[in-house]
Structures are given as C-alpha cells and as structure tokens.
Chain A
Amino acid sequence: MSDNKIKFTIDGKECIADEGLDLWKAAMLNGVFIPYLCHMKDVVPAGSCRICTVKVNGRPMAACTTLVTKGLEGAVVENDTPHIEEMRKMIVELLFVEGNHFCPACEKSGSCELQAMAYRYQMMVPQFSYNFPLREVDATTPKIYLDRNRCIQCKKCIRSIKDDQGRSYFAFYKRGHKLDIHIDHELAATMSAELAQLAMDGCPVGAIINKEKGFDVPIGKRKFDKEPIGTEFLNVTKE
C-alpha cells in the first residue's frame, strides 16, 4: 500500500486515507457508512448495484469503483444527502419489485442485506408496481439450490466462487431485463461443502442456500435483527 495519504471530506467530516484504496473502503475506515449490496471484501469491485453512489465534487460516482488518488485531495464528497438517499431508496425498491422477495418465508431473513437496506430506508411499500416475474428455482445440484426469485444479480457469486483452474461455478445468462443467473452443473456436482458455504455466505440475499442443513441462528437473533445494517462503522446514525 502506498505511503501517500489523501485528505478529503465526506459530508463535512474530515477523512484521511491511503492512496489506492477504493472510496467505499476509505469511508468505512473513517467511520462513514456508505450503503452497499455488491461490494465484497478482497474481490475487485463490480460497481453494479450503484447503491454506493456518492457525489465527488458534485459529480455522481460509485464509491466502490472510485479510487483514492491525488485527484481526490481536498475533494468534497457528499454521501448522506436527501437527494442521494432518495436515489438509494429507489434502487432498493427497484430490486424488490424486480424479483420475488417474500421475507417471512426466506431462510436468509435477518441476515439479508437487501432486507436490511429496506429497513434502513423504511420502505413500507415500493413506489413501483411489482413485476412478479416467473423465475425458476434450480435445485439440481447436490450442495446448494439456486432460488432466482431472490437474486439481485449483484455478481458476487460470479466474481468470487471459482474452481482451482479459475473456472466459474456461476455466470450470467442473457442480458438486460432478461438477465438471469446460471450454475454450472458439472462443476457444482463436485463442489466442496466449504465452497458451498462460502457461496451462501457471500450471497447478500437468499438466492444461494445450502442443502441438507438447517440453521444455527434462529430468526430474531440474526445479524440485522440485532442492529441495523451499517452499525458496525457508525458514527452516522439515522433518525
């Protein structure tokens, strides 16, 4: 990591970060929470959910794909503004109406980042009408089942779950509003229990679920049941 330190402000708060970090991580290290759905530790950011969009000197940018460089020195970053927060809420709502998300019946309830975001933005009912798409569940592989109803196409599984030759277990299928996620049946047939667990833990929603195992933590005592998403880096509190 570079020795260069870059100074900038986020919503007026003075921040300092190593050159080369991404802005999302830099913010986190400075105690500022920027909402996320597709960001993943140690994996190259995809910048696809766009919920981490902030304004850098007035220009909208996804924080996860914006690097802390010399150009950021002295920059004014806006994060928690009504306009930006409204757009983020819209993204959450879009994801809810795009898929079929029935939280009460979902194994991931309480650990689900989408659900936690909806709580954060106090979404009562989405402003858009539901699509109720017909999406297939793929339960044909031995270790996991893929419930596409809940998938938000964040690409986390595609980016992080690979075999030792770098081949993908998961991949996109088609494009645009027809976009779907597919699992490679041949590779998945020999998927290890550890990798299956990693895939499930990485999934921000309940689209990837391990088979043959119940749950250690009951609903009501899970991560976001205890405290809202983002609490771990909070000085920022939401009313």
Chain B
Amino acid sequence: MSEIKNYVLEITGKCGKCPSHLMDILIAVQNKFRHIPDEAIECISKELQMSKVDVEQTASFYHFFTEEPCGKYTVYLNNSAVACMMGRDKIAATFEKEVGCKFGNVTSDGLIGLYDTACIGMNDQEPAALINGVVFTSLNDQKVKQIVSAIKAGKAVNDLVTEFDGKENAEMKSEVKNNIRKRGPVLFAEYKNGASLKKLNEMTPDQVITEVKNSNIRGRGGAGFPTGLKWDFCSKAEVKERYVLCNADEGEPGTFKDRVLLTLFPQMVFEGMVLGGYAIGSQQGVLYLRAEYTYMLPRLEKLLAEMRTKNLLGKNVAGKQGFDFDIRIQMGSGAYVCGEETALIESAEGKRGEPRNRPPYPIERGYKNKPTIINNVETLCSVVQIIDKSSAWYRTFGTQYSSGTKLLSISGDCKFPGIYEIEWGITINEVLEMCGAENAQAVQVAGPSGVCISPKQFGRKLDFEDMPTGGSIIIIGQQRDLLKDVVLNFMDFFTDESCGSCVPCRALTPVLKKKLVKIMDGKGVKGDIDELVKLGKTMKDLNRCGLGQTAANPILTTIENFREKYEAMIKEPKTDGVYAFDMAASVKESCDYAGRKVIIHN
C-alpha cells in the first residue's frame, strides 16, 4: 500500500470516518505531503463515503490547501496594505534572490516555496511571514538571508526563533510580540483564572443571561449584536442539543487583538465559552482558530487538558452538579469569509466556507443544524469579567449606548502600533495622539470592509452610534498613494476572498477593480467615478453576506471622502468619442496575436 493511502487510512480512522472532520483530515495531509495529492482525495472520498468532487470542493476552497507540492518549507509572505507600507516588496525581492525562485513557485529541488498570503494578524510587526506555520516578524534583508541559509542547511524552522516577548510567547516558541500599548479597565482588569466559573454554583443560567443583558455588551467582532439577547434567544430554542462557538478567525486585515487575547488570557476565552454553555444549556464548545494562528494550537490544547484535570471542563464543571461541558479546537485553513458566522459553521462542519442563507439564524439552526451561539474572542473575555465583577461595574465604562471597552489594533504610519484597550466614545483625534500618528492623510476604521475617513472627520467617535469597529485601525500617512497603496490592495483582497456564491460579489468585484485601475492608469472619464458609486452601491443591496455587501466600501468611502484624488486622475477628453481607447496599443496587441510586424500610421 502506498504511503499516502496508509496515512489517509490512519487519520480518517482516528476521526471515525466522519465527513465533518474533513478539514482536519485535509490539514493533516497538506502538512505531511506538502500538498493534497489526487490519490489522497480519492482515498478520503472512499473512506468517508463521499464523491471525489465533494472532497475536492472543500480542498480547493481554502488558501492553504495546495494542488501541487508547495515546498518542504513554505514561505507565506503577507501582502496586506500595511505589510506593503512597511516594505513587503523589498523583502519579497530578497526572498526571491536568496531562495532562487519567484513568488508563486517552488525551487526546482522542491525545498522552498514562496507564496503571497492575506493579512496574517501581524500588522503591528510587519513585514511578516509564515514559514511552515511559524511566524517571522519585523523582517529585514539580514534576517531573510539568515532564515533562508538556515533552511538550506536543513534546520527546523522552530529552532530559528530564539528571542521571546514574555513567557507566553516563549511557551509557544514564537517571536511574535504582544505590543500592548494601553491596558484598559476591563480586559486588563485583575482576574484570577477560574473565578467566573466558581459563580456557577451561585447563579442560575437565567441569572447569567440577565447579567450579560444588563451589561449591554454588544458583539466585539464588528456586527455588534447584543450578546445577552443572542444567549437568551438560544436558551429558549426548542431543540436541546446546543453549541457554543468561539470565532477566533480574526481575518479582517489590520486586526490582531484576538491574537493577543489568546496569548495572554486564553483561559478567559475558554471560561467565556463555558459561561455561554452554562447559560444556553450546551455541552460542547468549538473554538474556530484561523490557520495563521496554528502556532498557538499546542499551548491551547495543553491548557484545555489542564482545565479538564482542574474540573473546569468535563463533568460537573467547577463543581456544578449536572453541568457537563467540553471544548474542542477547529482549525481553519485560510479563508477570510469564514469569519462570517454561518461560513464559519460550514467550515467547522468540514465544508466549503460559504455563508448560509438567513433565516434560519444560528440561534435556531447553527452548528450541526442545532441552536448555536457564536461569539467573538473579545466578547467572551469581557463576559468573564462581567460575571466576575458585575454588569453595573461594566456599565461604568464607555458611553450610554456603547458600554464597556474595546480593544483597538492600531497599525500603519504611527510611532506605536499595537493593542490599546479604550473606552467607547474616544475620538479619532485622540486615537491618533495616543498612537503617535502625526499628520495622517487618512484613517481606515474597521478594516477594508469599514470606512476610510479624512482629517475633516477625525473628530468622529468610535462607538456603536457613530463608527462601530471590530478594532482594526490603519493609519495612512501623507507619503502614501491612497488609491494604489490602500484601495487597490483592498479590492484585490476582496476579489481573492469572495466565496463566489453570489453573482454580484463574484463578478462585480473584479469589474469595480478594473474600473479603478482604468482611472489610476489615467484612462478614466468623469462618468467613471459616478459609475463606480452606482455599481458599488448595488453590492450592498444584492449580496447575501457581510463580505459581499461591504466589498465595494474601499472604493465607495474613498470616493465619498477623497473624491478629489479620483478627479485628479481624470484627463478631460480633447475630443468627443471613445477616450479610453488606445489605438496604438490595440493595433500592437492584434499584430502580436497575428504575428505581424507592427506598423502604426498616424
């Protein structure tokens, strides 16, 4: 029997030949064979009793599953807007020179593959890359040379990291820095692990829900749905088998707060899930962790095991008779859309990360089609503090309608990129001062799917009434070309990350990008700007999920706030007619195809 078949039999056997574990199986195959061989797909389909195309449709959906071998060592260099601002292109050139192949390729000996990847959650320490799951940050030419020569000498990537920021990162053997710039009053408030779970003996599930409701906390992932209400609805579902999902698929370019929470307070995250499980009457939680954070997995698994031995998970959790709860971790494999809660559910079930139609909402039919609550990492940590301290305490922070604090992930052109816990209601001007950003040209609030605002609006506030945010704040300095460095990068991102289900998202996003490039190339006409606005607005009306609805936002919000930048690129036509048509280029293209000599008569 071949090695591939042997291996597939071994891992499919381990997970009970269950199709819902397809992601885990594919991740294992990719890691071992550095691609998903056709033979493996064939064998998996037999073992799981699926058709081959059914396996293939999941395998081909995710960025980190490859059809061809991606090298014994695979370098995924971040190409997000901030990575590029921080010198990604120069680092890429150094990688190409040292490795000896271009990006998108593998060296002829199959040793090293170079690939681009979307934001890996390291915007505060770019340029950064993932090499076989290990994160390398603050890259410079010298460091790249050392890494490549060490790899060529056959060293394990893990051993290349020698300096650590704090004991948590040391435990993960990770060189990622926490970069905490401002410790706020909620998430960084003193907390003794396990304290919130002791309260279970004094509180009924309804009391937990009431306390969460009274805190007025709203989801911290970006959508801002009231957490207490979500739990309440789910607890009243008819079906008794229920699930708690934690969304740790932090994919919005520019956010990295969950990375820090999962590094510093992982037990709080898990305790938050337990509280949710107790409140809604669930026995099983799933933490969905993005593939980029695989380096955290062993430490998180170890912690889960410890919590089980301390009776903080398992039977009669924390001594509460009759309350059984456990947590498993589901790894993703590179898909921004999986941050959308229903896509996340699909992915956790081993399928393509395509958002579902709603209704039904997850609180009625979620994971395994059972009632499910899905909460962001930060939300769950806040809930732990609320239960430990009280909702009244929590409400003393923030504003009347936006209670509590928010973690901001600040990156881009500022002196102090990193994590800031702020109270809702802070203005952008205050944020800029706090992070040492002078003379900013623009600020991208809430990531590519959010808004790009101009200095005129820096007096605006971060809260649910004015500008809500999942926490991504990108400062864009005067030296940047806003359209090229930011808007175009974001449009490329959305084009790549669309799941493709909805026609407008799949087909219109590339059209919008093309029109943007046309304007940037100096071939645009005045009507193109209004056309972009008109088409962009249909994206919000027509698409099913948040990704599609907001994919035109980079263009729409920059036209709204920086229209002059677009207009400056429009050359007025000298004559009426077709302005965008380049006769000479077109004749040349035709001649090239026909293999004829180009002769252009003026």
Chain A residues proximal to chain B, CB less than 8 Å = 45-51, 53, 60, 62, 65, 67, 87, 90-91, 94-95, 97-98, 128-129, 131, 152-153, 155, 163, 165, 167-179, 182-187
Chain B positions 41-60 with a Cβ under 8 Å from a chain A Cβ: 49-54, 56-57, 60
* Chain B positions within 8 Å of A179 at CB level: 500, 506
CB pair B500 A177 closer than 8 Å: yes
* Chain A interface SS verdict (over half): mixed
B25-66 CB mask vs A (1 if < 8 Å, else 0) is 000000000000000000000000111111011001100000
Interchain nearest-CB distance for B369 vs A (Å): 12
CA distance A60 to B537 in the complex (A): 12
CB pair A174 B510 closer than 8 Å: no
B501 CB-CB contact with A under 8 Å: yes
CB pair A174 B54 closer than 8 Å: no
CB pair A50 B506 closer than 8 Å: no
CB pair B357 A65 closer than 8 Å: yes
CB pair B60 A173 closer than 8 Å: yes
* Chain B positions within 8 Å of A153 at CB level: 500, 503, 506
B492-530 CB mask vs A (1 if < 8 Å, else 0) is 000111111111101111110010000000000000000
CB pair B500 A62 closer than 8 Å: no
CB pair A91 B542 closer than 8 Å: yes
CA distance A90 to B512 in the complex (A): 13
Given A94-B507, A177-B510, are A171 and B51 also a contact pair (CB < 8 Å)? yes
Chain B residues proximal to chain A, CB less than 8 Å = 49-54, 56-57, 60-61, 335, 352, 357, 359, 495-504, 506-511, 514, 535, 538, 540-544
CA distance A163 to B49 in the complex (A): 12
Task: Using CB atoms, name the residue of chain B closest to A129.
Answer: B514
Interchain nearest-CB distance for B427 vs A (Å): 31
CB pair B60 A87 closer than 8 Å: no
* Chain B positions within 8 Å of A60 at CB level: 540-542
Q: Which of A46, A53, A177, A187 contacts B51 (CB 8 A)?
A: A187
Given A60-B542, A128-B511, are A50 and B52 also a contact pair (CB < 8 Å)? no
Interchain nearest-CB distance for B504 vs A (Å): 6
Q: Which of B57, B499, B504, B541 contacts A171 (CB 8 A)?
A: B57
CB pair A184 B498 closer than 8 Å: no
CB pair A173 B57 closer than 8 Å: yes
CB pair A165 B49 closer than 8 Å: yes
* Chain B positions within 8 Å of A185 at CB level: 52
CB pair A94 B504 closer than 8 Å: yes
CB pair B499 A175 closer than 8 Å: yes
A-B contact pairs, 10 of them (CB 8 A): A50-B503, A62-B357, A94-B507, A97-B507, A152-B503, A167-B49, A167-B50, A174-B61, A175-B500, A177-B495
